Structure 1
Amino acid sequence: MPAVSDPICAPATPLLPSAVAVLRVSGSDLADTLAPLLSLPEPRKATLRTLCWEGFRERALVLFFPGPSSYTGEDLVELQVHGNPLLVRRLLTHLGRLGVRQAEPGEFTRRALLNGKQGLLEAEALRDLVAAETDTQIRLAQARAGAQPTWIHEARAVLTPWMSRAEAAVDYGEDEGIGLDLKALKNDLLRLRIGFHVEQARSRAAIHLREGIRLGIVGRPNAGKSTLFNALAGGDRAIVTDLPGTTRDVLEVRCEWRGLPLRLFDTAGLRESEDRVEQLGVARVGAVLEEADLVLHLTPVGDGPDGLSETTLAPFRGKVLEVSTFADRGKASGVAIAALQGDLDALEAALKERLLGGLAPDACLGALATGRQVELLDELVRQLDLLSALDEGCPPEVPASLLQGAWAQLARLTGEDRADSALDALFSGFCLGK
């Protein structure tokens, strides 16, 4: 990775024809670096400047944020120019000749992290905000973009003095008679563990919301699959007729339904058929079942078991939700719906129970929501559970080691332990101007 202070630049807006394009430049001593192109204006005051380079003459609105009071913690300049992609490329090329290199993906935010302008959790939330596709995903990212969660501060406040006591017991206990009160330690950890288990449940639900719930819809022909697909998608995305075999391929749509970000997959009706195209559609159902978070097996009210459906679903039984359709036509049990009439409350409740642990989407706001975060939270809980299971009289080295392990998970979670591999994985998913 190049030195943090070397000047970098990137477009902060897409290279598409538009009214305005924004370029960002960050680094130390930008007044000297950019002097051949422009004189920097008064800090934080939008000022018109004329940029002249290699035969081009462009009027630009310029903003200057001197470090360390800037997004990156370095000098930061934003150039707002006309949104001609060729013009922007020519300006980026000229900046390169002035010694300003092209930024790597996410490098502006990476510098903000390394210069203490934001934390790792906030950086991850920013990435999710840019990638969000539904209202719920936007709110989920925004709720994590502020200060660190309260439970992290509480964990530090509890663990810090106990780490000191445990280390003192290890270093001086034998000579000075300093011991470690395991009973008192366990009492202090009990409240933390209860809170952590709550956060685990919220985080597992939040992951589904962040990534979008992959929902496969399967069943025999005319079981109401496409009708449900359209009802959840909020429009006529799939053709619905009384003719069996209307849907012959997998249809996919991303949408938000009642606060749930969904990736819906409508599949061909499961039946034996001589139609080659329909056979191909049925053959693709297995791939949908493999990838789905939950499989909705639709069966019309009053219909009995279907051999082909049972055989197809058998390997995935653990993630199958049985749904009775056309509930308006007769007595139904379990999760019963009438999609054409909009009667889907039972399905909503079942989805939230199976995938969100019964939580409402808004109850997940502020929760950890990435695989990295949840993995570290799980390991943190494991360390505390081990501490709480220790027997009285065990050597102080054991609780000291577990306390250090718990602290290490917190440090990795918040970014204080800045492993380059973890940061590389995070920032590779950012756009260039971030």
Structure 2
Amino acid sequence: MPTTAPICAPATPPVPSAVALVRVSGTELATLLAPLLTLPKPRRASLRTLRWEGFQERALVLFFPAPASYTGEDLVEFQVHGNPLLVRRLVERLGILGIRLAEPGEFTRRALLNGKQGLLEAEALRDLVAAETDTQLRLAQARAGGLPSWIQEARQALAPWVARAEAAVDYGEEEGILLNLLDLKTAFEPIRQRFHVEQSRSRAARHIQDGLRLALVGRPNAGKSTLFNALAGEDRAIVTEVPGTTRDVLEVRCEWRGLPLRLFDTAGLRDSVDPVERLGMARVRPVLEGADLVLHLRPTQDPAPDPVLLAALAPFAGKVLEVRTFADLAEAPGVAIAAHRGELDALEVALKDRILGGLAPDACLGALATQRQVDLLDELVRQLDLLADLEPSCPPELPASLLQGAWGLLARLTGEDRAERTLDELFSGFCLGK
């Protein structure tokens, strides 16, 4: 049973500002808040004077009675002057009145438990608040509309077959209930194909949601810093003709051609006696380990790759993409660019192919994007693929087990099967007032 113990929290950052928002949610708020104010009429912004032990504050107050509120409980919002000390004193006063400070994400958690929104909506809200680029913002907004239609269709198609399969296992011999596996496969093939499409979109969306971690490596003067600046859209790295200019790992977050990027410019890899340069090169390996993709920049005029560099990249061969730089000076096969001239189309195509599976960022809008969602969708696809591979002569227990497994995975995906650990992990990423 959802708790209704009253909670409160600031819903705006603790910094000086024109207005700060403090939220309260729970039951019997009119009685609890009576020493502070008389609640206004529902859904009408009213100016009230709040008085308590030496403090007086004029606040704009809104009251949303249950169940028609964000949390499904009585909800009061105080809009006060944005002085962090004033907000802290107000929250302390609410605590004295018996209204405890909310845990991170507790307002949204109550909304979920009270049926005001689904788990997928809550996850989309968390990602919306955390978005750092336009593409991430649009990705989260597209997922905020509730349960996707393809999941609803899958549930409607799956439900009667789960019941039929269970009946065939439990009463098949006595009642003559049979499970026609051919009909089952025919009915589920369009769903299985759609799940494969959504699986590809979700894997790409996951990379967009997190941001693509790209490490730029190469010998000194291979064009790493030039590309770094071109992708970042500003001069963040020093570019000179002197080898070894970059001595440390530089990092920047940006959005380039619809791709949220987390770029790492690294020290040029070569044999060197300079202790500072060697220290910079030693810091490259941890960056390569954490990267989604390693761009090995190699000038078109280089006749062969540097053996020292190849040895350093060998452990990461599965995620290394060779990029030929200074393509305006000589022709080269593969991905060839001229970053100093803004000629980066080949790199854009390669990134979207390697990381997004050839999809454009906009093609991922509305796709499931959290790691939890992607993992569950992968397992759902596996279950449906196993179902499609069953022999017609197999006992009904096999398809029944796969159907029940798929049904359970769908319930976990949508939040109908509410594991406390899943909810704890989700709401720990929210701010206090959300």
TM range (shorter): over 0.9
Amino acid at match of 2:377: L
Q: CA deviation at 1:393?
A: 3.2
2:91 maps to 92
Output the CA distance in 2 between the equivalents of 1:379 and 1:3: 30
2:257 maps to 258
TM-superposition CA deviations, 1:166-216 (whole Å, max 9, x none): 122122211111111111001111111100000110011001100000000
CA contact 2:108–2:122 (8 Å) conserved in 1: yes
Over aligned residues, Cα RMSD in angstroms? 1.0
Output the CA distance in 1 between the equivalents of 2:319 and 2:114: 45
3-state SS in 2 of match to 1:327: coil
CA contact 2:2–2:114 (8 Å) conserved in 1: no
3-state SS in 2 of match to 1:356: coil
TM-superposition CA deviations, 1:274-303 (whole Å, max 9, x none): 110000011111111111100111111120
Q: CA deviation at 1:19?
A: 0.9
Q: CA deviation at 1:394?
A: 2.5
1:365 and 2:365 correspond: yes
The total of aligned residue pairs comes to 433
TM-superposition CA deviations, 1:143-175 (whole Å, max 9, x none): 111121111011111101111211221222111
TM-superposition CA deviations, 1:379-417 (whole Å, max 9, x none): 111111222222223322222221111010000001000
CA contact 2:301–2:329 (8 Å) conserved in 1: no
Amino acid at match of 1:309: L
3-state SS in 1 of match to 2:50: strand
Output the CA distance in 2 between the equivalents of 1:176 and 1:321: 61
Output the CA distance in 2 between the equivalents of 1:3 and 1:70: 15
Equivalences for 1:341-420 in 2 at 5 Å? 341-420=341-420
1:126 maps to 125
2:204 maps to 205
Amino acid at match of 1:123: A
Deviation >3 Å, runs of 4+: none
Unpaired runs of 5+ residues, structure 2, are none
Equivalences for 1:211-360 in 2 at 5 Å? 211-303=210-302, 304-360=304-360
1:50 maps to 49
Question: Identity of counterpart residues, as a percentage?
Answer: 76
TM-superposition CA deviations, 1:239-280 (whole Å, max 9, x none): 000000100000000000000000000011111111100000
Q: 1:265 to 1:188 in 2, by over 3 A?
A: same
2:194 maps to 195
Output the CA distance in 2 between the equivalents of 1:330 and 1:171: 72
TM-superposition CA deviations, 1:18-41 (whole Å, max 9, x none): 111100000012111111111111
1:175 maps to 174
Q: CA deviation at 1:3?
A: 5.8
3-state SS in 1 of match to 2:69: coil
Equivalences for 1:17-96 in 2 at 5 Å? 17-96=16-95
Output the CA distance in 1 between the equivalents of 2:204 and 2:170: 43
Q: CA deviation at 1:5?
A: 0.5
Output the CA distance in 1 between the equivalents of 2:56 and 2:178: 75
3-state SS in 2 of match to 1:185: helix
Output the CA distance in 2 between the equivalents of 1:252 and 1:273: 23
TM-superposition CA deviations, 1:128-148 (whole Å, max 9, x none): 011111000000100111121
CA contact 2:251–2:265 (8 Å) conserved in 1: yes
3-state SS in 2 of match to 1:175: helix
3-state SS in 2 of match to 1:242: coil
Output the CA distance in 1 between the equivalents of 2:331 and 2:383: 51
Output the CA distance in 2 between the equivalents of 1:3 and 1:137: 32
Output the CA distance in 1 between the equivalents of 2:392 and 2:132: 52
Amino acid at match of 1:312: A
CA contact 2:2–2:110 (8 Å) conserved in 1: no
Output the CA distance in 2 between the equivalents of 1:120 and 1:16: 31
Unpaired runs of 5+ residues, structure 1, are none
TM-superposition CA deviations, 1:326-351 (whole Å, max 9, x none): 11111122100000100000000000
3-state SS in 1 of match to 2:57: strand
Amino acid at match of 1:175: E
3-state SS in 1 of match to 2:216: strand
1:424 maps to 424
3-state SS in 2 of match to 1:262: strand
Amino acid at match of 1:340: H
Q: Structure 1 residues 151-160 or 351-360, which shifts more?
A: 151-160
Output the CA distance in 1 between the equivalents of 2:86 and 2:404: 54
Amino acid at match of 1:341: R
TM-score (norm 1): 0.98
3-state SS in 1 of match to 2:288: helix
